Amino acid sequence: MSRPLAKRQKTTATSKPSPSNDNNEDKHVLFTTWAQERGVRINGVVAAKLPGRGLGLMTTQKIKKDEQILFVPEKAMFKPSQSTLKKNNLSRISAQAQLAISALLAFEPTTSPLRLWQQTWPTVTDFTQCMPLYWRPEFQALVPPPVNLPFDRQRADFEKDWVSVETFCKAEGWSREQFLYYWMIVNSRSFHWKPPKGSAGSMVMCPFIDYMNHGPTDTTCNVFQRSDGYEVLANRDYDPNEEILATYGSHPNDKLLVHYGFVSSAEPGTPPSKDDDIRLDHLILPKLDTNTRDQLQDLGFLGGYALLPATNELCFKTQVAVRAALLTCNEWEYFAGNGEDLTGDKADAVREYLIPLLREYSTDCVKKTEEIGKLRHKVDDLQRGSLDMLQTRWNQISDALEIFIKGPKDVDPVEAYKEKYEANKSRKSI
């Protein structure tokens, strides 16, 4: 399963990546050969186990900036079986369900030549540990409020897709759990493929590229769709034993947790990725009256409010929303249109409005941490992994809130997170 890495590091002798052996045969070496036989070009990288992060792609040689690392031709991709879908009246189900059903048909038979690829995927056990959709209800109840928006959407999407394929799956002898597994594989490992000449696009799976772990924006290799396949180019010079990363999108950790089963962590003592944010909708929206909500809706500013931990600032939509509650209509409309206050800087007033709400949220972080701690003593090691992930996200939220509450608006996030890290180390050593 993909795991985060905020900064690529050269592997040391004590954390050397190692192949994963299964029944004395390295399935990843066998799969590499299998992929190359289907036209996948692999230059200077190998699948390897990474300490604490599962599998990833590591360099085996020096690679120059803009050098091709991987190329997956269209013929090597796995695509939905349109003929089978049409034959079974499944052409109008969602693109994700189409690919999941096609994968079930192609990968599930024990004699399928695709089983070698499937053996490199995360297992149901892996998903049970890292994917909220697989978690026990009491774990799901502990996710931070901002996680619920993408999580609720994902659950609704799955239920809709299951209804659309249930009859077909039962006729094939497949359970809801089998469909869910392939649906989640597609959700976390697929690409969008748009063929040339105006043909309709579809979701596809690409062998070998799906080994690449996620990295924040501007820190990863460049992945391009060409007319005949997908290409990965080096974003910088690489030495041997460095991990290469791809970005799954400029997603905050709430969405990464729901869709990919991890939260991206910065190096200790450094600010989080600029992709991350701490959503504040559940704090701000209940405070807005109906008229204010309508005004924000009309201008496209209703919802999506966030604290940006990388810069220790509030996003513009948050600035607009709070000013809607504080200013006259003319003053508010001027700020929304120009990004400047009409009569004096209102940043301090915005901060004073939010601080009590953020303190309540900070208190909630402490309560949830205590609940997670109590649960840890009642579950097995696998389930503790799920709780560790929850705890990591609550800690990230707590740190960002504490730094914003304590620091002035012009605080240096680098120094603030360094001080926070040193303070945490001191407390643990006592």
SS3 167: helix
pLDDT digits (tens, 9 = 90+) for 228-252: 999 999 999 999 999 999 999 899 9
Phi–psi pair at 301, nearest 5 degrees: -115, 20
Q: What is the pLDDT of residue 265?
A: 86
pLDDT digits (tens, 9 = 90+) for 19-56: 444 443 589 999 999 999 999 999 999 999 887 777 89
What domains, with CATH codes, occur in the chain? 13-76+206-250 (2.170.270.10), 82-204 (no CATH), 278-429 (no CATH)
What does the alpha-carbon distance between residue 389 and residue 131 come to, in Å, rounded to a whole number? 10
Helix axes 329-338, 290-299, angle to 10 degrees: 30
Q: How far is CA 212 from CA 4, 53, 195, 302, 348, in A?
A: 10, 12, 23, 36, 44
Alpha helices, DSSP H only, in 38-123? 82-87, 95-107, 115-118
Q: What is the pLDDT of residue 269?
A: 82
What does the alpha-carbon distance between residue 53 and residue 126 come to, in Å, rounded to a whole number? 12
Q: What is the pLDDT of residue 412?
A: 85
Report the amino acid identity of residue 365.
Answer: C
Q: What is the pLDDT of residue 179?
A: 98
SS3 153: helix
Strand partners, 140: none
Answer yes or no: are the C-beta atoms of 221 and 245 closer than 8 Å. yes
Answer yes or no: are the C-beta atoms of 392 and 263 closer than 8 Å. yes
SS3 299: helix
What does the alpha-carbon distance between residue 121 and residue 185 come to, in Å, rounded to a whole number? 8
SS3 18: strand
Instruction: For residue 200, count other CB atoms closer than 10 A to its CB.
Output: 8
pLDDT in 10s for each residue of the chain, 430 residues: 333 333 333 333 333 444 444 443 589 999 999 999 999 999 999 999 887 777 899 999 999 999 999 999 999 999 999 999 999 999 999 999 999 999 999 999 999 999 999 999 999 999 999 999 999 999 999 999 999 999 999 999 999 999 999 999 999 999 999 999 999 999 999 999 988 776 778 899 999 999 999 998 888 999 999 999 999 999 999 999 999 999 998 999 999 999 999 998 888 888 899 999 999 999 999 999 999 999 999 999 999 999 999 999 999 999 999 999 999 999 999 999 999 999 899 999 999 999 999 999 999 999 999 999 999 999 998 899 999 999 999 999 999 999 999 987 678 888 888 888 887 776 554 4
SS3 289: coil
Strand partners, 191: 204
Strand partners, 225: 230
Q: How far is CA 334 from CA 2, 327, 353, in A?
A: 45, 10, 20
Query: What sign has the CA pseudo-torsion 120, 122, 124, 129?
Result: positive
- Residues in contact with 128: Cβ distance below 8 Å, sequence separation at least 6, in sequence order: 134, 135, 382, 386
Q: What is the pLDDT of residue 102?
A: 97
Closest CA to 94 of 255, 203, 206: 203
What does the alpha-carbon distance between residue 331 and residue 287 come to, in Å, rounded to a whole number? 19
Q: What is the pLDDT of residue 198?
A: 66
| DSSP single-letter state for residue 44 | S
Alpha helices, DSSP H only, in 235-341? 253-260, 281-284, 290-299, 316-326, 329-338
Q: What is the pLDDT of residue 15?
A: 37
SS3 203: strand
Question: Model-level pTM?
Answer: 0.90
Phi–psi pair at 25, nearest 5 degrees: -120, 130
Instruction: For residue 429, count other CB atoms closer than 10 A to its CB.
Output: 6
- Residues in contact with 36: Cβ distance below 8 Å, sequence separation at least 6, in sequence order: 42
What does the alpha-carbon distance between residue 242 and residue 9 come to, in Å, rounded to a whole number? 6
Answer yes or no: are the C-beta atoms of 6 and 273 closer than 8 Å. yes
